[in-house]
C-alpha cells in the first residue's frame, strides 16, 4: 500500500509498505530481494507481522532489509523469528568476495616467467635426482625392484601392443597411399618403399608410439602417484624410510625406457606391413618391396629410431611421475596433474624429436 | 503420525531389511524419528550405521521395507519425487564432501545456485550468514584444502542447511575433532535444533557427544541384525536389559561388567 508521509521539515515523501508473506523462503522471496536490492528514492517499509516460516534465505533477506539504508525499514518481526534472526546474524561479518587481482601486462609476464623458471628448475632437479637414483642401483643392487619393473612393463607394454600395432599399420597404409599417388606421376612408385622404411623406422614409429604412450601411460603414472600423494601414501613411504624416488619413480622410468622402444618396433613393423600391402596395389611384389627396403635402409636408421624411443620413454615417465608427485590437495588436483603430464609430455616429445632431427642432419646419421 | 508427545514423525522406517546378497546387516527393522529430535545411530564398527544412513537418504536401495520422509516414500517413489525428497534433507558426509575446486562460500552457495532463482547478492548473503551462524565467517574465501577438520565439518553442515532443510543427517560429525571443537559442534547442533526446529539423525559412537546432546539412541547389532537399544543414553547406560548395551555406554572392554 502507498502512504504519503508529511515530514517535520514540510517536505512530502511517498512511502511504500510491503507486507512480507507467511512463508519467507528461497522459493518465494525472489520478488522481495529485487525490491531491497534496487535503489529507490521512496522509503520502503517491510512489514513482517504475517511471517510464520522463515528459512535461511528469509533471515538473510531480513538482514539485508535492516542494512539497506535509511530509506528501508523492517517492522513487526514476530518474536520467534526475531530470536532466530539474532542467533543467525550475531556473527555476521561484512566480507566481500576476494577481489580478483588485476595485474599489469609486465607484472603478468614476469609472474609467468618466474613460474616457468621455477618449474624448469624443479623439473631439472627431478631429472638429476632420478639419474642419481638409477646410478645408485649399481652401488645398491638390492634396490633394483625387478618385480615392480615387470609389473609396470606389463601394464604399459603388453596391454598396449594391440593399439600400437593398429596405429602403426594404419600409419603405414596412409603414408604409402599418399606418397604413391605423387610418385606414380613420375613413374617412381618403387621409391615409395624407401620413404616408408625411413619415415616409419626413424620418425613415425617412435613418435606415434611415444604420443600414444604419453596419453595412455604417462597420464596413468600422474594419476597413480597423484592419488597416492593425496592419500598421504607418499608420506607413509617416507616415514618407513623408503624413498618414493627409488620405490615408485625408478621402476616406472626403467620400465618405460624399455617398453617404448619395444612398442616402437611393433609400430614400425606393422607400419612397413601396411605399406607393403598398399604397394601390392601398385604392382610391387613382396620380394621387390623387401629388396628395395633392405637396400634403402641402414642399421643406423633403426638404432636412431630406437635411441629416440628410449629417450621418449624416459621423459614421458619422468614428466608423469613429477606431475603426480607434485599434485596439490583434493580430487581436482589429480585431474590437473594428469592433464599437465600429457600436455607436457607431448610438447617435450616433439621438441626432442626436432632436436634429434637437427643433430642427425648435422652429424650425418 | 502424531505421537504421545504430540510430535510428528518426520522419518519412518518400516520393516527395513538392508545389506547385500550373502550379507544382511539389518532385518525387518522399524522405527520412527520425531520432529525436533536428536537421534544417534550407533553400534560397533561395520554394523551398518553409515549404510543405514545412506539407505534413509535413498542412496542405498534396501532389500525389503520402506522409508517414509514426511510421509512420502524415498524408496518406492519415482526418480523425480525421490530427488525432491532428497533436496529437503540436509546431509553431511563423514569427509565433509566439499567440492575441492570451489571456495567455502561457493560450496555453501552451490545448492542455492542450482535450485533457487535468488539474485546473486541474496545467495551470497545467505551463504555468508550460514557460515557466520556456524562460527566461521572469515573462512568464506578459503579453499576446502585450507580448512581444518572441524571447519570442513561445519562448512558441510552450512551447505546442508543452505536450502532450508530441517532434517539433517550427519555422518560422524565429531570424529577426529579435538574435544573443544567437538563440544562447539555439539553446541551448534543444539542451537540449530532450538532456533531452526531442526531434526538431527547422527551416525556416531562418540560417547561424549551422545551424552551431551542425544535425545535418543538407536543401537544396531550385527549379530541379531536388529536394533538392540532404543532410548535416552542415560536410561540405556543404567537400565538396559542388554549387557552389551550397558558395556557400550560405559565404554568397558570385553570381560568386564
**A157 three-state secondary structure:** coil
Q: Which residues contact B46 (CB under 8 A, 6 or more apart)?
A: B222
Closest CB to B141: pick one of A64, A97, A331.
A97
**pLDDT by residue, tens only, chain B of 257 residues:** 344 455 789 999 999 999 888 889 999 999 999 999 999 999 887 888 888 998 999 888 999 999 999 999 999 998 889 888 888 898 888 888 888 878 999 999 998 988 888 899 999 999 998 898 888 888 999 988 888 888 898 899 889 888 888 899 999 888 777 788 788 788 888 888 887 788 999 998 888 899 999 999 999 988 888 999 999 999 999 888 888 888 888 888 876 55
Does residue A4 register a pLDDT over 60?
no
Residues of A at the B interface, defined by Cβ within 8 angstroms: 25-27, 29-30, 33-34, 37, 55-57, 59-61, 63-64, 83-84, 87-93, 95, 97-98, 328-333
Rounded Cα–Cα distance for residues B243 and B249 (Å): 10
Whether residue A192 contacts residue A283, with contact meaning beta carbons closer than 8 Å, is answered with no
Average pLDDT estimate for A192-204: 93
What confidence score (pLDDT) does residue A13 get?
54
- Provide the β-strand partners of residue A16: A2, A44
What confidence score (pLDDT) does residue A5 get?
39
Average pLDDT estimate for A214-238: 90
Extents of the domains making up chain A: 2-89, 145-359
User: Residue A3's pLDDT band (boundaries 50, 70, 90)?
Assistant: very low
Whether residue A228 contacts residue A267, with contact meaning beta carbons closer than 8 Å, is answered with no
Sort A143 into a burial class: Cβ within 10 Å, 0-12 / 13-18 / 19+: middle
What confidence score (pLDDT) does residue A96 get?
52
Does residue A7 register a pLDDT over 50?
no
**B237 three-state secondary structure:** helix
User: Which of A32, A54, A56, A335 to mutate against chain B (most B CBs within 10 Å)?
Assistant: A56
What confidence score (pLDDT) does residue B6 get?
58
Does residue A360 register a pLDDT over 70?
yes
User: Minimal CA–CA distance to A220: which of A323, A310, A328, A125?
Assistant: A323
**A265-316 per-position pLDDT tens digit:** 999 999 999 999 999 999 999 999 999 999 999 999 999 999 999 999 999 9
User: Which of B113, B122, B147, B165 to mutate against chain A (most A CBs within 10 Å)?
Assistant: B122
Quote the minimal CA–CA distance from A208 to chain B in Å.
34
User: Which of A23, A26, A94 to mutate against chain B (most B CBs within 10 Å)?
Assistant: A26
What confidence score (pLDDT) does residue A241 get?
79
Q: Which helix (H) or strand (E) holds B229?
A: strand B226-231
Does residue A2 register a pLDDT over 70?
no
Alpha carbon B128 to chain centroid distance? 23
What confidence score (pLDDT) does residue B29 get?
93
User: Minimal CA–CA distance to B137: which of A100, A88, A329, A82?
Assistant: A88
What cell does A67 get? 542494512
- In chain B, residues with a C-beta closer than 8 Å to the C-beta of A92 are 128-129, 132, 137
**A12-61 per-position pLDDT tens digit:** 456 788 888 888 888 788 888 888 887 676 788 888 888 888 888 888 88
Q: Half-sphere exposure of residue A219, counting CA atoms within 13 Å on the CB side?
A: 15
Whether residue A156 contacts residue A216, with contact meaning beta carbons closer than 8 Å, is answered with yes
User: Minimal CA–CA distance to B108: which of A90, B53, B96, B170?
Assistant: B96
Does residue A9 register a pLDDT over 50?
no
**A50-102 per-position pLDDT tens digit:** 888 888 888 888 988 888 888 888 888 888 888 888 877 877 765 555 566 67
Are the beta carbons of B164 and A61 separated by less than 8 Å?
A: no
Whole-complex ipTM: 0.73
pTM beyond 0.90: no
- Is the C-alpha dihedral spanning B147, B148, B152, B157 positive or negative? negative
**A97-154 per-position pLDDT tens digit:** 556 667 788 998 999 999 889 988 988 999 999 999 999 999 888 888 899 999 999 9
Are the beta carbons of A64 and B163 separated by less than 8 Å?
A: no
Does residue A156 register a pLDDT over 80?
yes
Q: What CATH class has A2-89?
A: alpha beta
Q: How many CB pairs under 8 A join A and B?
A: 100
Amino acid at each position: 500500500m502507498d502512504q504519503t508521509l508529511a515530514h517535520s521539515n514540510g517536505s512530502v515523501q511517498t512511502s511504500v509498505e510491503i507486507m512480507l508473506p507467511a512463508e519467507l523462503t528461497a522459493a518465494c522471496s525472489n520478488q522481495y530481494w529485487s525490491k531491497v536490492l534496487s535503489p529507490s528514492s521512496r522509503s520502503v517499509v517491510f512489514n513482517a507481522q504475517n511471517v510464520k516460516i522463515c528459512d535461511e534465505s528469509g533471515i538473510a533477506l531480513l538482514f539485508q532489509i535492516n542494512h539497506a539504508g535509511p530509506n528501508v525499514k523492517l517492522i513487526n518481526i514476530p518474536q520467534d523469528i526475531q530470536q532466530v534472526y539474532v542467533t543467525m546474524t550475531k556473527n555476521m561479518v561484512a566480507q566481500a568476495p576476494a577481489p580478483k587481482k588485476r595485474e599489469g601486462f609486465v607484472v603478468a609476464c614476469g609472474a609467468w616467467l618466474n613460474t616457468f623458471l621455477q618449474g624448469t628448475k624443479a623439473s631439472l632437479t627431478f631429472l638429476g635426482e632420478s639419474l642419481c637414483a638409477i646410478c645408485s642401483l649399481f652401488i645398491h643392487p638390492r634396490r633394483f625392484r625387478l618385480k615392480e619393473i615387470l609389473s609396470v612393463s606389463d601394464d604399459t607394454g603388453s596391454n598396449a601392443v594391440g593399439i600400437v600395432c593398429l596405429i602403426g599399420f594404419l600409419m603405414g597404409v596412409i603414408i604409402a597411399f599418399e606418397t604413391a599417388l605423387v610418385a606414380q606421376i613420375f613413374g617412381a612408385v618403387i621409391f615409395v618403399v624407401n620413404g616408408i622404411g625411413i619415415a616409419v623406422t626413424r620418425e613415425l614409429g617412435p613418435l606415434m608410439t611415444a604420443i600414444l604412450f604419453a596419453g595412455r601411460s604417462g597420464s596413468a603414472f600422474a594419476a597413480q602417484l597423484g592419488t597416492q600423494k593425496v592419500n598421504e601414501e607418499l608420506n607413509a613411504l617416507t616415514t618407513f624410510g623408503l624413498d618414493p624416488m627409488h620405490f615408485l619413480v625408478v621402476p616406472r622410468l626403467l620400465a618405460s625406457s624399455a617398453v617404448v622402444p619395444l612398442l616402437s618396433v611393433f609400430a614400425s613393423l606393422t607400419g612397413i606391413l601396411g605399406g607393403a600391402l598398399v604397394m601390392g596395389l601398385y604392382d610391387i611384389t613382396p620380394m621387390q618391396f623387401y629388396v628395395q627396403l633392405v637396400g634403402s635402409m641402414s642399421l643406423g636408421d633403426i638404432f636412431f629410431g630406437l635411441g629416440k624411443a628410449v629417450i621418449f620413454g624416459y621423459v614421458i615417465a619422468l614428466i608423469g611421475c613429477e606431475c603426480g608427485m607434485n599434485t596439490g590437495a583434493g580430487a581436482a588436483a589429480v585431474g590437473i596433474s594428469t592433464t599437465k603430464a600429457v600436455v607436457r609430455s607431448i610438447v617435450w616429445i616433439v621438441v626432442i624429436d626436432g632436436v634429434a632431427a637437427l643433430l642427425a642432419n648435422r652429424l650425418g646419421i | 503420525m502424531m505421537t504421545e508427545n504430540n510430535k510428528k514423525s518426520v522419518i519412518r522406517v518400516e520393516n527395513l531389511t538392508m545389506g547385500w546378497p550373502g550379507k544382511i546387516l539389518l532385518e525387518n527393522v522399524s522405527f520412527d524419528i520425531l520432529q525436533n529430535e536428536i537421534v544417534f545411530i550407533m553400534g560397533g564398527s561395520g554394523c551398518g550405521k553409515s549404510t543405514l544412513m545412506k539407505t534413509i537418504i535413498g542412496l542405498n536401495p534396501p532389500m525389503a521395507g520402506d522409508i517414509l520422509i514426511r510421509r512420502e516414500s524415498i524408496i518406492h517413489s519415482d526418480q523425480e519425487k525421490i530427488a525432491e525428497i532428497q533436496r529437503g534433507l540436509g546431509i553431511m558426509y563423514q569427509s565433509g564432501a566439499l567440492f575441492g575446486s570451489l571456495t567455502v562460500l561457493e560450496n555453501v552457495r552451490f545448492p542455492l545456485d542450482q535450485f533457487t532463482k535468488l539474485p546473486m547478492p541474496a545467495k551470497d548473503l545467505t551463504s555468508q550468514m550460514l557460515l557466520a551462524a556456524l562460527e566461521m565467517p572469515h573462512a568464506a574465501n578459503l579453499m576446502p584444502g585450507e580448512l581444518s577438520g572441524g571447519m570442513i565439518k561445519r562448512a558441510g553442515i552450512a551447505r546442508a542447511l543452505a536450502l532450508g532443510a530441517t532434517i539433517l543427517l550427519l555422518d560422524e560429525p565429531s570424529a577426529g575433532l579435538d574435544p573443544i571443537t567437538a563440544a562447539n559442534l555439539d553446541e551448534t547442533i543444539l542451537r540449530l535444533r532450538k532456533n531452526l526446529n531442526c531434526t538431527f539423525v547422527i551416525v556416531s559412537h562418540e560417547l561424549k557427544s551422545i551424552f551431551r546432546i542425544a535425545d535418543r539412541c538407536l543401537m544396531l547389532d550385527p549379530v541379531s541384525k536388529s536394533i538392540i537399544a532404543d532410548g535416552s543414553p542415560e536410561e540405556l547406560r543404567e537400565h538396559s536389559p542388554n549387557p552389551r548395551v550397558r558395556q557400550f555406554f560405559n565404554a568397558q572392554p570385553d570381560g568386564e561388567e
